[in-house]
Structure 1
């Protein structure tokens, strides 16, 4: 194998970028009957009944999300009005997952992006910053940054000032680690857990590797993508179905009466790794 050519993609996930065929990217594909029978989504909102297009009163609320002992119907509304009220409740409920921190505003922006219904990818500087902070602050043994740092020291031919191994060796070192996911304790309340949480696909690109004397400097670019959408497996889990936040989300996305489009959430950051041959 020849020398690395820069920029060099050293890692890609099995899941591809921009996968519009993923289950969580479906929208408007389920009927009312399916949503009620398979997913037990009879009661969705404390404000409106999306199945009858009526407003709710406090007397309408069932004792359990899994029963529907409603006491009459309120004023009839249009489907557009119903969707607007569901999105308002969706936004309001999101605040329990984004209590404090610099990323708490992201989820409401992403909900607004879904309501605009363009289906276009979502980008935000705060997302890129969150990704950078996660990578740089991760001091665990599974950190991809630290694993690469160790690997560069081992793989550099210090006498000839060049990288002596091949791209596959870099890929293997990353596989042993853990990609940056927003499932840490702090992500439960800082907004990132609800805005992103897991990731669908990732690319790691080595943009350059400079070796001088006993030191090296590597520039790495992380490109990460998530899907702002729910699949069937999500809503069938009690972790999700117990919260009206996710019940509203699933109905707005998957009901053939609404069908608001999910979208890709894109994050990118470039980081620097500096080290020397004497590090352990």
Structure 2
């Protein structure tokens, strides 16, 4: 049986890379009437009314029983001014989801990117670091793709010929399907900034860059390439937990309202990890 040749991309998720036709990548496709009737997006912002292009006062807020600040209330503004105010409010509200840690600043960078970069892809070394740390620190025997790959290498490597058989390639794909791809949906991601910037992921490719085998040991270098969409689809905003939070209401209107149409974008992440093991480890 021939040996598997490297680099070898052995896993590709069902959803494809660079999918600009996904629902969460749409923008500027909904009218005021649709936003109000289908998604109950009547009250959007404490600062402005994006439909009438006027500044709000505290009296306008659904939770307010009296007015404590009328300065500028009812003032007409331009659509550009309204968008700037909404993005500023979005940044302010985002801090609830990014309270601490090395990733907490990312959400504001990504909001800036949506406001200014017209849908171009986003890449940041801190995102790459977050992905790598997630993969390395996941020690769940049932879910960790890194540990499941280690077990597969230990089991299916031809130790006498010092190679991985090409005929066993699909075993690697199967163990990935048996595990859980790296996603930022853990409890700590609700507060460290990764849950709001990435959370779930759209597409994942996993590639073995090299595999070195000698003296009953192996060293595999594996690259994870991951994409997510920084955008909201209609299913998102119909969920109660999203629809009731002003952060997501503003985001959806900025993206999908036909008088704004700010483009969502693809977030790119990559991480390369080493997987080490030996032929006797599965016997322990």
Conservation of the 8 A alpha-carbon contact between 1:188 and 1:194: yes
Conservation of the 8 A alpha-carbon contact between 2:211 and 2:220: yes
Number of residue pairs aligned between Structure 1 and Structure 2:
274
> 1:80-112, CA deviations, whole angstroms, 9 ceiling, x for partnerless residues?
000000000000000000000000000000000
Structure 2 unaligned residues grouped into runs of 5+:
65-69
Partner in structure 2 of residue 109 of structure 1:
109
Partner in structure 2 of residue 241 of structure 1:
243
Alignment of 1:22-171 (within 5 A): 22-63=22-63, 74-140=74-140, 141-164=142-165, 165-171=167-173
Conservation of the 8 A alpha-carbon contact between 2:123 and 2:267: yes
- Aligned equivalents of 2:29, 2:59: Cα separation in 1: 32
- The structure 2 residue matched to 1:178, chosen from 164, 177, 180, is 180
- CA deviation after TM superposition for structure 1 residue 277, in Å: 1.1
Alignment TM-score, normalising by the size of structure 2: 0.94
Conservation of the 8 A alpha-carbon contact between 2:205 and 2:226: yes
Alignment TM-score, normalising by the size of structure 1: 0.95
> 1:56-100, CA deviations, whole angstroms, 9 ceiling, x for partnerless residues?
011111249xxxxxx9x6100000000000000000000000000
- Aligned equivalents of 1:110, 1:149: Cα separation in 2: 35
Partner in structure 1 of residue 18 of structure 2:
18
Runs of 4+ in 1 over 6 A off after TM superposition: none
Structure 1 unaligned residues grouped into runs of 5+:
65-70
- CA deviation after TM superposition for structure 1 residue 136, in Å: 0.1
> 1:234-268, CA deviations, whole angstroms, 9 ceiling, x for partnerless residues?
00000111100000000000000000000000000
- Aligned equivalents of 1:263, 1:5: Cα separation in 2: 34
Partner in structure 2 of residue 68 of structure 1:
none
- CA deviation after TM superposition for structure 1 residue 5, in Å: 1.5
